Each structure stands twice: as C-alpha cells, then as structure tokens.
Amino acid sequence: MRLQHRVWLYRLLLLAAILGLWQVASDRSQMTRFFFGSPVAVGAQIVHWAVTGTIYRHLGITLLETVLAFSIGTALALVIGLWLALDRLWSGVLDPFIKGVNTMPRLILAPIFSVWFGLGIWSKVALGVTIVFFIVFFNVYQGIKDVSPILLANVRMLGASRAQLIRRLYIPSAMSWVFSSLHLSVGMAFVGVVIGEYLGSAAGVGYLILQAESTFEINTVIAGIVVLTAFALLLDSGVTLVESALVGRSRPRAAEARVA
C-alpha cells in the first residue's frame, strides 16, 4: 500500500474512532449529550440545513467575506510591505505605529467596525483584513530584507534598474515567504469574519451559531462549527493548488535563468 493511501486510511480510522467514542458517550450519559451533543444529531442537523437550503445563503456570505478579507489583506500587505522594506525613512517612521496596531487585540476593533461599516459584510471584511494584513506583511518585509547583499550588489553592477530589481529580485524573494504565510492567513481570515458575525450580524454561519447558543442547541452549534471547519479545509486546499501552480510555473523560468 502506498504511503499516501495509508495516511488516508489512518485518517479515516481515527475519525471513525473519535465519532464512535463520542456517540457511545452521548448515548450513555444525558449530561454528555447536553454539553457535547451527539454526532448523529449533528449530522442530522447538517443534512436538514442542506435539504432545506438554510445553510447556503449564510455559508455564501461567510465565504464571500473570507475571500474579500483574504484578497484585500494580502494585496495591501504586498504593496505596503514592499514599499517599507525598500524605504528606510518611512520604515523607521512607521515602525512603532505598525507594531502598536499589530499588538492591539482584534476583538476590540469589531464593535468599532460595526459602527463604521454597519452590520453588513464590510465590518467583517475589515476585521479579517486586520488579521490577514499583518501575517502577510511581516513575511513580505522579511522576504525583501532576506535578499543577499552580495547578490544585490552583483545585479546592480550589471546595470539593473530599480524596476528590474523589484520585478526580478525583490518580488520573487518576497513571494517565497508569502507562500509560507498563505495557509495561516486564509485560516485566520475565516476566523476573523466568523468572529465578526458572532459579535454582530444578521447573516452568516457565525450568526447561526450565535442564534443556536442563545437557545442552548448544542447540536446546532457543533453542526455550524463542523461546516466552518470543512470549508476552511477546502479553502486551504485551494491555496495549496494555487501555490503548486505558481511554483510549477516559476521552475521553468528559474531553469532558463540558470542556462542563460
């Protein structure tokens, strides 16, 4: 049996063991069923959502907020990280402000964004952007600073312009660091928008979970968490595919550069 097949087999066996133990525990104890629900009831709730169509609108809103937060946060981090990494003056000026905002607990920003942008999607997107931005920003900044001074001096001696340095040297160096942060940032974007929905919204999976908690429907709460987890894994898989495609494209170019 191939290693990949064995990995998936063990994953499925582990999942089956966890669900089996959970179901047995909930069947034998009413207290356990009240606090932790049961996998059968959770599965039934997810099926009910899917059959009635209740989940699709809320899930669509949450996914839209996540994609917007991830895209906007990543784009801003790339531009600002590149700018500050190459500009010593403004890097020194803004350094304490960036570090100060980064240390600020994001939860305290959620009510402020709700006042500024209302209870629609943009308050959740703004909260997600504040989380994604700093994850990607510091990786971009470090990626630019990680460029070898010897390589940089050699390229400058060959007459490379600033635009060529940015396109051929700085951006490729930064992207290798950005790829390492994308999996974390897409997950945190998901977390940010769900927290925003949980704290104040009229739609989204976080809103469904909040409504279920208010009536102590633990199975519905866990069903919402399972749906969020499943789609977070799908988003992470999508990032992996994009990363693999971009890395695959960059390899032929690197080979051409070495031959040249």
Q: pLDDT tens digits for 88-122?
A: 888 888 888 888 888 888 778 888 888 888 878 88
In a shared domain, residues 27 and 147: no
Query: Is the dihedral angle over the CA atoms 12, 15, 21, 27 positive or is it negative?
Result: negative
Residues 134 and 248 in one domain: yes
Q: Are residues 72 and 7 in the same domain?
A: no
Give the three-state DSSP class for 184.
helix
pTM of the model: 0.77
Shared domain check, 21 and 112? no
Burial of 178 (0-12, 13-18, 19+ CB in 10 A): buried
* Position 17 pLDDT exceeds 90: yes
pLDDT of residue 148: 67
Domain that holds residue 3: 1-36
Angle at 172 between CA 84 and CA 162, to 5 degrees: 55
Shared domain check, 225 and 96: yes
pLDDT band at 172 (very low <50, low <70, confident <90, very high): confident
Query: Does one domain contain both 13 and 108?
Result: no
pLDDT higher than threshold 90 for residue 201: no
| Whether residues 110 and 144 fall in one domain | yes
Shared domain for 23 and 90, answered yes or no, is no
Same domain, 22 and 124: no
Read off the pLDDT of each residue in 29-54 and give the average, rounded to a whole number: 86
Domain count, the chain: 2
| Whether residue 248 has pLDDT greater than 60 | no
Q: What is the pLDDT of residues 49-65, one digit of tens each?
A: 888 888 888 888 888 99
Is residue 96 domain-shared with residue 169, that is, in the same domain?
A: yes
Contact 187, 236 (CB under 8 A): yes
- One domain for residues 136 and 45: yes
Domain identity same for 161 and 214: yes
